[in-house]
């Protein structure tokens, strides 16, 4: 009989898989657009034409492209409850959900 992992390990495993998935999807997007570089600095409002990670406390974490300090391009948002949203953003707003 296989015992289930403790909840904390299940959450860690799920998070790792989600991050790896995000990395693979967004890496493919970067191949198409070689202009995207890694976002630098701690002030996301200054990030432009770059790929970054924005942690928004209880709202969750966004992995994706930025333009003029806003989510713009392909990205993945992992909510605090573990739900995942993959999509395309423009000027900070999601315009297309990717399944």
pTM above 0.75, yes or no: no
57: left (phi over 0), alpha (psi -120 to 50) or beta: left
CB 89 within 8 A of CB 95: yes
pLDDT of residue 80: 87
pLDDT of residue 56: 85
Q: What domain range includes position 46?
A: 7-97
Name the residue with higher pLDDT: 98 or 22: 98
Residue 30 maps to a domain: yes
pLDDT digits (tens, 9 = 90+) for 4-48: 545 555 665 566 656 556 555 555 555 455 567 999 998 999 999
Q: How distant, in Å, are the alpha carbons of 48, 57, 93 from that of 84?
A: 24, 15, 16
The total domain count for the chain is 1
Residue 2 maps to a domain: no
| 3 state SS of 93 | strand
Query: Considering the chain, what is the average pLDDT of its residues?
Result: 80
Q: How distant, in Å, are the alpha carbons of 9, 39, 52, 69 from that of 42?
A: 30, 9, 10, 11
């Amino acid at each position: 009989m296989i015992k289930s992992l403790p909840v904390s390990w299940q959450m860690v495993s799920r998070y790792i898989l989600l991050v790896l998935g995000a990395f693979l999807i967004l890496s493919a997007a970067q191949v198409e657009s070689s202009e995207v570089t890694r976002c630098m600095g701690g002030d996301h409002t200054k990030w432009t034409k770059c790929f970054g990670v924005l942690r928004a406390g209880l709202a969750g974490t966004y992995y994706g492209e930025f333009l003029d300090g806003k989510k713009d391009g392909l990205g993945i948002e992992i909510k605090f409850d573990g739900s995942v949203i993959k999509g395309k953003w423009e000027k900070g707003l999601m315009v297309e959900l990717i399944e």
